Structure 1
Amino acid sequence: MDQSAPKPENIIHDTPDNPAPENATAGYFETRDNKKLRYAIFRSSVTRASGTVVLLQGRNETIEKYYETIRDLTDAGLWVATFDWRGQGGSERLLKNSIAGHVQRFSDYEDDLEYFLENIVLPDARLPFFIIGHSTGSLIALSAAPRLANRVEKMALSAPFVGMQDGRFGEPMLRFMVGAASMFGFGRKSPTGNKRSNLVFEGNSLTSDRQRFARNRAIYDTCPDFILGGPTFRWLSECFRAMKRVHRPAHLASIRIPTLLLGAGADTIVPIETVEELASHFRASELITIDHAQHELFQEADIFREQVMAAIKAFMPGEL
């Protein structure tokens, strides 16, 4: 590690009921196109580590949101390396309107992941490498997976963002609308505006656990610069393109990494039927559905979250 890097406490943050795990190294790295992204590596206190998990967050998430899961993994003898995606959390924002959730190209996410693996994780972390992803992070992993076979041993992907609930429009019409908006110069605008989302627990679509919901909201109250609004038309259009790509049988056949798919049975963001359809064509995968769970499986109530961690325990090394 770079000994001149800033101290972790100046980069990653605590809230009263969410202290950072010990043995952390944090800093920033510059991507190939000179974006500044925040990262952290958490070392296990177990003498003989079983490997390193590269933890890929979902949209509008941060390193701090995963402290509980990181602690579970390091207690199991695994190191954890993670970073905030470009345009969110403590990483560099991409627009003057910093609250807009934007990306110019979906491939930028994949390039950032590969750069992180090659330049931050590989030199300093413990082999073998595993990926745990959630939602958008899972979609990025699926899209990049054919190129990661020689570096990643296994993947566990929670509520992969491989489809979207239809809402008022069918998904084909929604794809057309956001693609047209992006093409005609509205790509940097958000269809939902700049309002901060998920402010109240009642009726939220993420978790049934009130305590974890409040804990996660406190992160944004403590670090208001982390706040993100709705996705832009361009972000949606690029994600729809990636969804279409990862559903192709030829793409799925090219993934050689054993993959555990974790579906949320009561997900109102990603239809469980879409995850099941993808799994049916994905020979390297196994699907486990957590019945009645909402979208954020790592932030869910213990009755659901414990099933998720047990499934990962059976799939990856270490004892959770």
Structure 2
Amino acid sequence: MRFPVWIAADGWRHRAYDWPADGAPRGSLIFQSGRADFIEKYLEACDHWHRGGWAVEGFDWRGQGGSRRFAEGLQPDDRLSFDPLIDDLVAFVADWKARTPAPHVLVAHSMGGHVALRACAERGMVLDALVLVAPMLALNTGFIPRPIAQMLIGGARLAGLGHRAAWTDDPDDPRRQFRLTASRERYEDSQWWKTERPGMGLGTPTWNWLGAAMAGARRIGRRGALARVTTPVLLLAAGFDKLVRDSAIEAAAWRLPVGEFRLLPTARHEMLREADDNRLPALAAIDDFLARRAPRP
């Protein structure tokens, strides 16, 4: 795997990654991670697709992983809008499609799924197949009704707290692991990378970030918002997901012109980093979908 620099139109330097296929590629695949992620967390999944013959590429989102402008410290994840991320993805995909062989497929997790779906719906991005893994199409607000949660977020921002972290997080708290994965080994792997490479980690979302996520979810949920998405889309949901709302994922699958939905009832949010009893079925579902929707040329 190589790590070139990809520069966005506004000059932001992104850490990209490029894993050429061994021999003639089966096709070209981009993997985009979720909020506060970095590509090292998903080396297992990328290796799976690479072994399947795919040429694998992608980049760390601006402001996180290797695409940050500062080196150290768990700074809060502050964002007023996801539009810059959508701009980045659309530009990267256009360049990638022009220089790589078809079929062209994109696999995106959580926040990455939010960005990818909006890029297709709002910017006309077209692929041969799109896979959304636990996509952040609506936040899971738990016992707080969504309208109340929206009022709380709006109130915090009006009170001048928008740039502050919305909560504190303790990586050693077992509850944090089980919000993400049942695999202690894979959870510890992600923490190892943050220790090994200071600056990779990112703090908790700010009230601004939560407001941007809620606003993006409203855009996705509008009547007819997904009607322009001609790309076949597989949406995977985790039954034990505490971060995003499964019902919004299933609803989007029904509203897409070519959508498929698959629920893994006992999986947690990071399905591609789960214990194998959920991770392997998730990968198998993706492989099956790509075999049908983006067959080998």
User: Is the shorter-chain TM-score for this pair beyond 0.5, marking a shared fold?
Assistant: yes
> Could you tell me which amino acid in structure 2 is paired with residue 32 of structure 1?
A
Using the TM superposition, give the Cα deviation of residue 304 of structure 1 relative to its aligned residue in structure 2, in angstroms. 0.7
Q: Which residue of 1 aligns with 2:172?
A: 199
How far apart, in 2, do the equivalents of 1:228 and 1:249 lie? Answer: 34
Q: Which residue of 2 aligns with 1:224?
A: 198
CA contact (8 A) 1:50 1:77 kept: yes
> Could you tell me which amino acid in structure 2 is paired with residue 41 of structure 1?
D
Segments of 5+ residues of structure 2 without an aligned counterpart are none
CA contact (8 A) 1:201 1:213 kept: no
How far apart, in 2, do the equivalents of 1:31 and 1:186 lie? Answer: 30
1:137-286 equivalences in 2 (<5 Å): 137-146=112-121, 151-167=126-142, 169-183=144-158, 185-193=160-168, 195=169, 197-201=170-174, 204-286=178-260
Q: Which residue of 2 aligns with 1:6?
A: none
| SS of corresponding position for 1:174 | helix
Query: Structure 1 residues 155, 254: closer, same or farther in 2, change over 3 A?
Result: same
Aligned CA RMSD, in angstroms, stands at 2.3
Partner of residue 122 from structure 1, selected from 64, 78, 97: 97
Count of paired positions: 292
Query: Structure 1 residues 26, 105: closer, same or farther in 2, change over 3 A?
Result: same
Query: Structure 1 residues 211, 104: closer, same or farther in 2, change over 3 A?
Result: same
Q: Which has the higher contact order (CA 8 A, sep 6+)?
A: 2
Structure 1 residues 148-182: Cα deviation after superposition (integer angstroms, max 9, x where no partner): 65641110101111122223532212222223433
CA contact (8 A) 1:57 1:84 kept: yes
How far apart, in 2, do the equivalents of 1:101 and 1:238 lie? Answer: 12
| SS of corresponding position for 1:204 | helix
Runs of 4+ in 1 over 6 A off after TM superposition: none
**Identical aligned residues as a percent:** 27
Partner of residue 37 from structure 1, selected from 14, 18, 24: 14
Segments of 5+ residues of structure 1 without an aligned counterpart are 1-23
Query: Structure 1 residues 230, 93: closer, same or farther in 2, change over 3 A?
Result: farther
Partner of residue 50 from structure 2, selected from 74, 77, 80: 74
CA contact (8 A) 1:54 1:132 kept: yes
How far apart, in 2, do the equivalents of 1:207 and 1:153 lie? Answer: 30
